[in-house]
Amino acid sequence: MQEFITAESFKNYNMIKQILHLPETNNFFENININQFFNNNKLLESYKKFKKISNMHNSKIRIINKKINKFDPNSIELYEILNTIDGLNNKTSSIYNNYINFNTHSVYDIKYPIKKELDEYKLNDLYFKINFFYNNKNVNDDIISSILQRFNYILNYNDDDRMKLITIALQKTNNSYISIYFLLYNLNRYTPTKVQNSISEINNLQNNGIYNCCSGYTSFYLSNNISKKSIVVTRIPEVLGLLTHELGHLLGYDFEVFLLSDKKFITSGINNKQYTNKLLKKLPIDCNINFSEAYNNTNTTIIHTICNSLELSKLLKKDSYELFKKLFKIEILYSIYHSAKILYWLGYTSFADFFDNISPIIYTQTACLFEYTIIRSFILLMLNDYIEEMMYEDYLTFKLVPEKIYNKFPSIKWTRLTDKVIDLIINNNTQQRKSYQIIFDKFIQLIKTDNKNYHNMEYFCIDWIKIKN
């Protein structure tokens, strides 16, 4: 597999392999009933649907136009991105230095056909304008094709009602397409040194765009009469995982709710404050918590791993579902390993230091790392509850929510699951939490004895794009 995955993925994979077959790890997977999850009918049906898409010769989406331009760093299209992606507006950062060496701007116009049977709307087809910015010495056609293939898999998987809802939103806000921007520089997330002063160092790393920073976003709302319908994805390492995550915000993997009225079209997630307060009472955290990011990244982990297994199985000549099971176990362990890296970098040296609130260190962040990784790592302990509570397939079919029940709807859908997640994090009597602690502390020991890789802060273990030599 080494020849098909990124260097960052391979380093993380080698660390996971050191504990993958230990008796404690086998007990861990038994305690979270991983085999029950692998045999869940909802998961199997989703997997079969993705597999069918991967074998299709006729896709719903169509590339209707393609052009290659010379890169213009001062283009109007890039103005907002330069002010929202950390590191791009810092002329001393390595990200900016990579950015100014781009020489190519490829544009793909893509159409997703919409079935037009809704009486109250005259629906257009759904259009995407995908922009790739890169240096052609580092990016070849294979990388572009891999990204477009992942885009194709996810869009073809989604429910037509969701796509119609997106189309209605575009028409209501006078948009003709969704813009997607890829800034493909070959830099991963990392922490250069062990933290000494967490707040100042985190701010510095954010300013340089290398850690605790914004590397992508999805804007799909109307605010102050400004309509924003765009997605931004950066970096070559982990670009497939990040694309899957950002499409998740567009397609509903974050369980946010659409509100559509004559005046505005917005999204809203869970009432975070009541749940944040529960965690603040038990954990040393100084930040708000966005649970929609945790749910989105959990769904992203499932879908990203499904897609990875289908894509890699063709290259490795292996059974795709068996490969999925192997890769998903790796991602579950990696979510704990990454959590250990995040907390160890801040100065926590054991599970109890943070989760039992023994250390005097206060956790702080400038990006949603606690949600992306730490909460996700606990959700992955309760996959069988998760897949049943969220009805897995059903979250993709969100109807228009009447304004009068809009503020109540998120809590109705999420309260029970979120309460279970929080209880698992803070209740030290559960078997899953005890198993998690054993694995977490084993990773801490690995970090202490071999700390060369813990500075590598990617969100997923496996991303398979091969960098051009």
| pTM of the predicted protein model | 0.92
Mention every residue, 6+ apart, whose C-beta is less than 8 A from residue 217: 84, 231, 232, 246
Q: CA–CA separation, 287 vs 275, rounded Å?
A: 12
Q: In this predicted structure, what is the pLDDT of residue 80?
A: 78
How many CA atoms does the CB half-sphere of 352 hold within 13 Å? Answer: 2
**Per-residue pLDDT reduced to its tens digit, 289-321:** 888 899 899 999 999 999 999 999 988 899 999
Higher pLDDT, 119 or 314: 314
What's the average model confidence in pLDDT over 19-48? 94
**Per-residue pLDDT reduced to its tens digit, 229-277:** 889 999 999 999 999 999 998 887 887 765 555 444 444 455 566 777 8
257 with 165: CB under 8 angstroms? Answer: no
Greatest mean pLDDT among 180-184, 195-199, 427-431 lies in 180-184
- Amino acid, res. 257: V
Task: Quote the DSSP letter at residue 455.
Answer: T
Report DSSP letters for 69-107, one per residue: EE--TT-GGGHHHHTTSTTTT-TTSHHHHHHTT--EEEE
Lowest mean pLDDT among 213-222, 327-336, 379-388: 213-222
**Per-residue pLDDT reduced to its tens digit, 385-421:** 888 776 433 333 334 444 444 444 444 556 778 888 9
Task: Quote the DSSP letter at residue 285.
Answer: B
Q: In this predicted structure, what is the pLDDT of residue 233?
A: 96
What's the average model confidence in pLDDT over 159-185? 82
| Torsion-angle region of 25 (φ positive above 0: left; ψ -120 to 50: alpha; else: beta) | alpha
Mention every residue, 6+ apart, whose C-beta is less than 8 A from residue 200: none
311 with 4: CB under 8 angstroms? Answer: no
Task: Quote the DSSP letter at residue 123.
Answer: P
Q: In this predicted structure, what is the pLDDT of residue 253?
A: 84
Q: In this predicted structure, what is the pLDDT of residue 418?
A: 84
User: Is it the case that residue 127 has pLDDT exceeding 60?
Assistant: yes
Higher pLDDT, 414 or 54: 54
User: Is it the case that residue 173 has pLDDT exceeding 90?
Assistant: no
Q: In this predicted structure, what is the pLDDT of residue 386?
A: 85
Lowest mean pLDDT among 78-87, 185-194, 203-212, 405-414: 405-414
In the predicted model, what is the mean pLDDT of the chain? 85
293's tokens: 């990011």
Q: Which 3 state secondary structure label does DSSP give 131?
A: strand
**If we measure between CA atoms, which residue out of 21, 2, 20 comes closest to residue 11?**
2
Q: CA–CA separation, 366 vs 287, rounded Å?
A: 9
Q: In this predicted structure, what is the pLDDT of residue 258?
A: 57
Lowest mean pLDDT among 158-162, 227-231, 425-429, 440-444: 158-162
Residue that the structure tokens 């052609």 belong to: 136
Chain CA centroid to CA 281, Å: 28
Report DSSP letters for 343-408, one per residue: HHHHT--SHHHHHTT-S-PPB--SSSHIIIIIIHHHHTT-HHHHHHHT-GGGGG-PPPPPGGGTTT
134's tokens: 């890169």
